[in-house]
């Protein structure tokens, strides 16, 4: 009888211990969504997260480059079409490099990313093909009145000059401190931005040759190229010629590349292989940041 009482007592004690213990709370970790990738911390090849909040502000003085219009996808919320436009934010200034081929698409992509068209202080037209200029009128209809910098082009000069300040670029020009145009190279200009890591060169199509555009950029701001981004116009170049072009860019000191628009699938695949971790996947919605150069 005593043995049964002992067993019953131990059983009751164990039940009391189990019900009085407080289990540790379950913690559900919510992954943070990264909307932009510094060039030194590049994402692996792939698409952006399914849900992407509006672009956060960058540190004062940093360079933020956002692809707004491109025929390659990156952010699934944004529309794609043949053409190119990029938003450049640097030391408190906001510029648009090219305007794409479709004004409503350009503005919708800007809206999705939280970019205000009226904040654009300057528009730099790389060259006068429609897929780089056709979004300009839609931008102006929002009330935005940027200064437009274009290579000589009679049609654009006439239509835009009556609406906002227009500068016909005939030589290299500093648009804002640390931000330059190369001036026309066979009627096409590139943008050159100074950063602490080196210069960033942005090309619209690089019709004269992407290496030639880089050399002209180095005439304006000597030194290494931290990032070469934009259209490289290699989609019609034979596979046999591509390796020598990439080798020439390396010899010129191009450290990282972000090819898009008219670069072409075969060329992009080869850049991805040859540059490895220094290759940046492009497409509309891609954003990269670099530390801005301290200006005098």
Q: What is the per-residue pLDDT across 237-289, written as a single tens digit (0 to 9) for each?
A: 999 999 999 999 999 999 999 999 999 999 999 999 999 999 999 999 999 99
User: CA–CA separation, 292 vs 150, rounded Å?
Assistant: 25
Q: What average pLDDT does range 51-55 have in this prediction?
A: 38
pLDDT in tens, 207-250: 999 999 999 999 999 999 999 999 999 999 999 999 999 999 99
Higher pLDDT, 48 or 230: 230
pLDDT at 52: 36
- Which residue shows structure tokens 């020598």? 244
User: CA–CA separation, 65 vs 195, rounded Å?
Assistant: 12
Question: Do β-strands 257-260 and 122-124 pair in parallel, antiparallel, or remain unpaired?
Answer: unpaired
Single out the residue of 114, 99, 107, 115 nearest to residue 142, CA to CA: 107
Residue ranges per domain, the chain? 60-290
Band (pLDDT 50/70/90 cuts) for residue 21 is very low
| b/e per residue 158-173 (b: at least 16 CB within 10 A) | eebeeeeebeebeebb
Whether the per-residue pLDDT at 72 is higher than 60: the answer is yes
pLDDT at 276: 98
Beta bridge partners of 123: 96, 148
Band (pLDDT 50/70/90 cuts) for residue 15 is very low
The structure tokens listed for 273 are 């292989």
DSSP 103-120: HHHHHHHHHHHT--GGG-
Contact 33, 51 (CB under 8 A): yes
The structure tokens listed for 263 are 């670069």
Beta bridge partners of 195: 198, 292
**60-290 topology per CATH:** Metallo-beta-lactamase; Chain A (3.60.15)
């Amino acid at each position: 009888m005593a043995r049964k009482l002992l067993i019953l007592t131990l059983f009751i004690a164990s039940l009391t211990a189990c019900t009085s213990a407080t289990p540790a709370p379950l913690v559900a970790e919510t992954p943070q969504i990264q909307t932009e990738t510094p060039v030194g911390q590049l994402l692996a090849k792939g698409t952006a997260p399914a849900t992407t909040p509006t672009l956060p502000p960058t540190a004062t003085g940093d360079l933020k480059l956002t692809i707004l219009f491109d025929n390659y996808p990156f952010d699934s919320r944004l529309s794609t079409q043949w053409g190119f436009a990029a938003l450049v934010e640097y030391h408190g200034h906001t510029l648009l490099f090219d305007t794409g081929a479709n004004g409503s698409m350009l503005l919708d992509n800007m809206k999705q990313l939280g970019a205000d068209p009226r904040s654009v202080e300057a528009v730099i037209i790389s060259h006068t093909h429609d897929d780089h200029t056709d979004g300009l009128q839609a931008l102006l209809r929002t009330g935005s009145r940027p200064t437009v910098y274009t290579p000589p082009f009679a049609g654009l000069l006439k239509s835009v000059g009556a609406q906002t300040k227009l500068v016909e670029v005939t030589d290299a020009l500093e648009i804002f401190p640390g931000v330059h145009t190369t001036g026309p190279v066979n009627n096409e200009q590139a943008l050159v931005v100074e950063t602490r890591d080196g210069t960033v060169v942005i090309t619209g199509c690089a019709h004269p040759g992407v290496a030639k555009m880089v050399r002209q950029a180095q005439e304006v701001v000597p030194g290494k190229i931290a990032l070469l981004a934009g259209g490289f116009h290699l989609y019609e170049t034979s596979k046999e010629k591509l390796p020598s072009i990439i080798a020439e860019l390396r010899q010129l000191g191009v450290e990282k590349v972000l090819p898009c628009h008219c670069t072409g699938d075969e060329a992009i695949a080869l850049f991805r292989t040859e540059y490895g971790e220094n290759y940046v996947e492009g497409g509309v919605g891609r954003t990269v940041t670099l530390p801005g150069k301290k200006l005098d």
